[in-house]
Amino acid sequence: MLVLVELILLAAVLFAVAYPLLNPRIAEAPGALLENELTGLLYRRDSLYAALKDLDFDQKTGKLDDADYAEMKTRFESDAMAILAQIEEIEKGAKTPSATKAGESRTKSSKTAFCVKCGARIGADHNFCQSCGAPVSRS
């Protein structure tokens, strides 16, 4: 009798685990695709900002000559502008509840500023940049 109960429980657990994997009708939520795409674009944007910061540092330390610096900076800036345009399109066109929640959370956290001297992220309540110590001017 105990073996029969164990077999029934085992079958139920296997069914519960395998059903979502084998059922083709279960798909992502409609807004999940937009949210994943937005997350990827935000990651790429942050990566480009970091690359621009590193590029400026390399040029200031003499690792890059002016021609290479100008070429790479132009390329990184154009890529960043394209990504920013895509982010704006997604945030404007977000009609699903989860995507609008992501957009709302981005606007709520938009009080975060960036240092004009080094490009580091500055919190809303900070008066100085934590990376370079430059004073923050709030407009």
Looking at residue 132, its pLDDT comes to: 84
Q: Is the pLDDT of residue 106 over 70?
A: no
Is the confidence at residue 21, as pLDDT, over 80? no
| φ, ψ at 119 (rounded to 5°) | 85, 5
pLDDT, residue 99, reads 46
CA distance 22 to 79: 40
Residue 25 pLDDT level (bands cut at 50, 70, 90): low
Q: At what angle do helices 66-92 and 30-60 cross, to 10 degrees?
A: 160
Mean pLDDT of 102-110: 51
Whole-Å CA distances, 18 to 2, 15, 30: 24, 5, 23
